[in-house]
Amino acid sequence: MRLQLSGKATCNSHGQGSSYFLGWQEYEKNPFDQTRNPQGIIQMGLAENQLSFDLLESWLSENQDIAGFKRNGESIFRELALFQDYHGLPEFKKALVQFMEEIRGNKVSFDPNKIVLTAGATSANETLIFCLAEAGDAILIPTPYYPGFDRDLKWRTGAEIVPIHCTSSNGFKITACALQQAYQEARNRNLKVKGVLVTNPSNPLGTTMTRAELDLLMDFIIEKQIHLVSDEIYSGTVFSSPNYTSIMEVLLKYEKAEVWDRVHVVYSLSKDLGLPGFRVGAIYSNNDSIVAAATKMSSFGLVSSQTQYFLSALLSDKKFTKNYISENKKRLKKRHALLVSGLQNAGISCLKSNAGLFSWVDMRHLLSSNTFEAEIELWEKIVYDVKLNISPGLSCHCSEPGWFRVCFANMTEETLEIAIRRIKALVESASRGRDKVISSQRSSKNNSRKKSFSKWVFRLPFHDREAGER
């Protein structure tokens, strides 16, 4: 008799069974390198911020002692090596909340006692859902959303995600109608709605939520008596107007109201500081019970004390943080403009965006039909022929085919230019009509590959080759 594993081990909720991550596999087989492999596939599916490392490196070279476990000339190696208190290093929590305040223009203040440290936002999101929901419950999430949520919020918790459908008709903004429809859908599926989870700024849209949307959300969670989680992992990447409004700012007018302890924020240093490897995430909540439960749960994913100390020094350096925040934004803005204008020249428009490490690109006009099959067909072409790995909207649960997330901050400027040139070439050949011939040729030659796609096209695929490739 075969030795068995648990249901969680054998199910597909980790999402990696889907043939979607073909794009990743192809990239791995043939990765672009400016000098050694200039014909390779350019990775544009990875939301990493590689634009401001020089600022970090320069700080590092002036603060070697900190990395060397010294505080004021004294070695604190032992102290750090032994420090495993799940309340976190006080000096780090203080520095972290100050950084979060600075990002929000000091319009709100955070209490270090209400923050829980976790190994990345991946862990923070899962921990919050463990606290709020279980099997039979649902979390409402606006589409399109980060594919990783399917694993992070559902896999081990048993909770379900019900989408709040957003469309291009209004720039993918959340509407009262969409919220009510999602709530109803959950009810129809016999699920108890426990909360709404939004990402603001949005991944994959790259937009900040409007005040109107935030107020709408507050009204909704007050009416339904549910929770709101605002994942603000990209809050430091807002590079142009409109200015960023965090849910914390909106919450100011609800202080001491009932809803005040049903709103929770998730943060991380993986995107703003470009340090995904260091695994630094946080949950912020006014709810004592949640902070208490999440703190204990953080035992399963604490931040290395070595890393806490190092970053407490970095983030306490106000000169550094002020300069970093502003310089980082400038560079992101420039990159964003480069991509958007380059795509424009190729006749491709993007959703107007002001944040994030990616653009939400409209390729509907390049689809052979207004279907997800056509989207995947186009995506295949882009991966295999144009040699760019970008993320199809389907993987983000977008309700309209033809949209793609394209990252711009994880490569050099030269590489981005090359990518843009390749896209231009694709569009030019498409407009010359050759593409339609090529695509019909390919579809007859590659029926098997198409077959392997058709069954998952209607599933919910996402790629998860590495942790957190948001």
Partner 1 sequence: MAIEIEAAPSVQLSRVADSETHGENLAYFAGWKAYDEDPYNEASNPSGVIQMGLAENQVSFDLLEECLEKHSEASTWGKGAPGFRENALFQDYHGLLTFRKAIVSFMEEIRCGGAKFDPERVVLTAGATAANELLTFILADPGDALLVPTPYYPGFDRDLRWRTGVKIVPIVCDSSNNFQITTEALEAAYELAESMNIRVRGVLITNPSNPLGVTISRSVLEDILDFATRKNIHLVSDEIYSGSVFSSSEFVSVAEVLEAREYRASERVHIVYSLSKDLGLPGFRVGTIYSYNDKVVTTARRMSSFTLISSQTQHLLACMLSDKKFAKNYIEINRTRLRKRYERIIDGLRSAGIECLKGNAGLFCWMNLSPLLEKPTRESELDLWRTMLQEVKLNISPGSSCHCSEPGWFRVCFANMSEHTLEVALERIHKYMEQRRT
Q: Smallest distance from the beta carbon of 241 to partner 1, in angstroms?
A: 30
User: Can you list the positions of beta strands (E) in 238-372?
Assistant: 263-268, 281-285, 349-350, 358-362
Q: Smallest distance from the beta carbon of 312 to partner 1, in angstroms?
A: 13
Q: Smallest distance from the beta carbon of 134 to partner 1, in angstroms?
A: 5
Residue 288 bears catalytic tag: no
d(CA 70, CA 127): 33
21/379 with CB nearer partner 1: 21
Q: Smallest distance from the beta carbon of 281 to partner 1, in angstroms?
A: 10
Exposure on the CB side of residue 267, measured as CA atoms within 13 A? 27
Residue 445 bears catalytic tag: no
Q: Is residue 190 classed as helix, strand or coil in its secondary structure?
A: coil
Q: Which of 154, 271, 329, 387 is catalytic?
A: 271
Q: Which of 146, 234, 244, 324 is catalytic?
A: 146
Q: Is residue 406 classed as helix, strand or coil in its secondary structure?
A: strand
Q: Smallest distance from the beta carbon of 163 to partner 1, in angstroms?
A: 22
194/387 with CB nearer partner 1: 194
Closest CA to 193 of 167, 230, 155, 223: 223
Q: Which of 137, 150, 152, 231 is catalytic?
A: 231
At which residue do the structure tokens 């087989």 appear? 29
DSSP class per residue in 251-285:
HGGGTTSGGGGGEEEEEESTTTS--GGG--EEEEE
Residue 271 bears catalytic tag: yes
259's CB contacts (< 8 A; 6+ apart) are 218, 221, 222
d(CA 208, CA 201): 4
DSSP 3-state helix, strand, coil percentages of the chain (rounded to 5)? 50, 15, 35
| CA distances, 327 to each of 51, 323, 417 (Å) | 10, 6, 22
Kindly provide the b/e burial profile for residues 122-137, where b requires at least 16 CB atoms within 10 angstroms of the residue's own CB.
Answer: bbbbbbbbbbbbeeeb
d(CA 431, CA 449): 26
Closest CA to 80 of 302, 282, 300, 277: 302
6/72 with CB nearer partner 1: 6
259/457 with CB nearer partner 1: 259
Length of the chain: 470
Residue 424 bears catalytic tag: no
37/289 with CB nearer partner 1: 289
Q: Which of 141, 161, 233, 418 is catalytic?
A: 233
104/470 with CB nearer partner 1: 470
325/467 with CB nearer partner 1: 467
Active site residues: 146, 231, 233, 271
